[in-house]
Amino acid sequence: MNNRINQLFETKKENILSVYFTAGFPKLNDPVEIIQQLEKNGVDLIEIGIPFSDPTADGPTIQKSSETALKNGMSLNLLFEQLKIIRESVNIPLILMGYFNPVFQFGVEEFCEKCAEIGIDGTILPDMPLNEFESHYKETFIKNNLHNILLITPQTSEARIKQIDAASEGFIYMVSSASTTGAGKKVEDFQQDYFERIQNMNLKNPQIIGFGISDNATFRNACKFSNGAIIGSAFVKSFQPEVKIEDSVSEFVKSILSNN
């Protein structure tokens, strides 16, 4: 069975827009509407953040949204419950992103089975070591047609990148710089030599650049060096209490995709 992530990259090779949001933020019951509106406005791929109490790789915006979501009562059980009929209204690939601890607590096999049942296409679990994934969990993920997306950074060695490429399915998440997530970088802050080095390696998997992509300029610049880019903090920050979700999402996505 073909995975929706693979289908996306088979039909679209460039300017892929992936958007991250934290489940349960701004309000507990927002995830389904946010997902539906993102698809409706032309987003290609969605990363649904599983809130966690100790989000070490996240910048202040996503940390704060995670805290709010947990206070609102979000949990993995509740998120699965909210998403159980998501495939009746949404066709684009959906990825669950978070830390390994909540997945481990839930039970890795149960988690993968639940993802398959709902129609989740992949996971991004940055703190799960590759060797642990390959030796303990890879078969369970494959059995449930679930891609575990792996990350590389400017500090990742060439040998390690090749190892990650060999172990990857779907795409490789290229972290733009060695920092926490967060909007606000300028186009010139990105490490062009790193992007070019990866391009020249001719990896088998497509790549999407994330961390620090926040507007039309940084999105378009990242797309010059990869198949697309991921926007997280800037989108999370864009929600305003007085603005309806549909208006907020529409305005944000238009601002990213304008002239693209």
**Cα–Cα distance for residue pair 51/70, rounded to 1 Å:** 6
The residues near 2 (Cβ < 8 Å, ≥ 6 apart) are none
- In angstroms, what is the C-alpha Rg of the chain? 17
- In order of 20, 149, 227, the CA distances from 38 in angstroms are 10, 21, 19
User: Is 58 labeled as catalytic in the residue annotation?
Assistant: yes
Among 47, 121, 165, 169, which one carries the catalytic annotation? 47
Which of 58, 121, 165, 169 is the catalytic position?
58
Distance of alpha carbon 165 from alpha carbon 207, whole angstroms: 10
* Cα–Cα distances in angstroms (integers) from residue 210 to residues 72, 79, 84, 256, in the given order: 27, 24, 28, 14
Residue 127 bears catalytic tag:
no
Active site residues: 47, 58
